A and B are shown apart, each in its own frame.
Chain A
Amino acid sequence: MRISEIIEKLSLKLHTSINDDMEIERGYVSEMLSDVMANCPDESLLVTILSHENVIAVCILKDIKFIILANSRKPNDEMLKKALDEDIVIATAEKNAFQISQSLLELNVR
């Protein structure tokens, strides 16, 4: 499913523009960046509450192009700036990570 469709269906609040509206098939939930590096499938979307710039550093390494911040978290300024530089999409959900995952599964993002 395309990033823009996921944003619409999950009623997410978008913080960046979407320059490359790519298809996303897989997702990963984690609050540990080492775990993301070790276990997250490439090109997944990432659901997390971590909202600082190191998340972007890890996303660059893992080719993650879409971050959903759970629990109404907002990116800090540096995270947002780096995401804009790297064309990584950040959107916020009011729901928690468990609920977001459930909605993503219904959209066939696994």
Chain B
Amino acid sequence: MLKVYHLEGGNFSEAGSASSDIKKLLKRLGLQSKIIKKVAVAMYEAEINVVAHAYSGDINVVVAKDHIKILVSDKGPGIPDVDKAMTEGFSTASEKVREMGFGAGMGLPNIKKNVDDLNIKTEVGKGTELSMRIDFQH
């Protein structure tokens, strides 16, 4: 099964609709709620990253028999130092984004905690591609 979603930078109201759609889908498929939560949290953090930092982004979700793969690619500033971005507490979010309750530097670490595999390809000035996999069996 393949699902595709589009995100616009700055559109915080729309962030979360892709992850809650996937959450409903996985619920219908009868997956364990622990796994569904992991997918939903990782995906929502990725959505927020796109609307907070990028100009636009696309999400492709592939649901296979024993895992789910989520690819989030954005057109945006890219991440100059991925190791730093992975550090809990480090954030480059704007004041406005922080006031909304984001930008605590927990996004990427939260994603990492919830997925079985995470791959980040990024080019400064062009954009970032985040690919993550969550296995259904643990």
Binding site for B on A (CB under 8 A): 31-35, 37-38, 42, 48, 50, 52-58, 60-63, 78
Contact = CB atoms under 8 A, between A and B. Distances in A.
A31 B41 CA distance: 17
B61 interface: no
Contact of B110 (A38, A53, A56, A62): A38
A57 B107 contact: no
Contacts, number: 68
Nearest to A60: B20
B74 interface: no
Given A37-B45, A57-B16, A58-B16, A31 B101 contact: yes
B84 interface: no
B101 A33 contact: yes
B63 interface: no
Contacts of A35: 104, 106
B100 A34 contact: no
B72 to A, nearest CB: 16
Nearest to A50: B101
A57 to B, nearest CB: 3
Interface residues of B, number: 23
Contacts of B20: 57, 60-61
A57 B104 contact: no
A42 B38 CA distance: 12
B23 A33 contact: no
A52 B96 CA distance: 13
11 contacts: A34-B101, A35-B106, A37-B44, A38-B106, A50-B100, A54-B12, A54-B101, A57-B17, A58-B44, A60-B20, A61-B16
A37 B108 CA distance: 12
A57 B15 contact: yes
Nearest to B40: A61
Contacts of B15: 54, 57
Nearest to B36: A61
Contacts of A54: 12-13, 15-16, 48, 100-102
B41 A37 contact: yes
B100 A57 contact: no
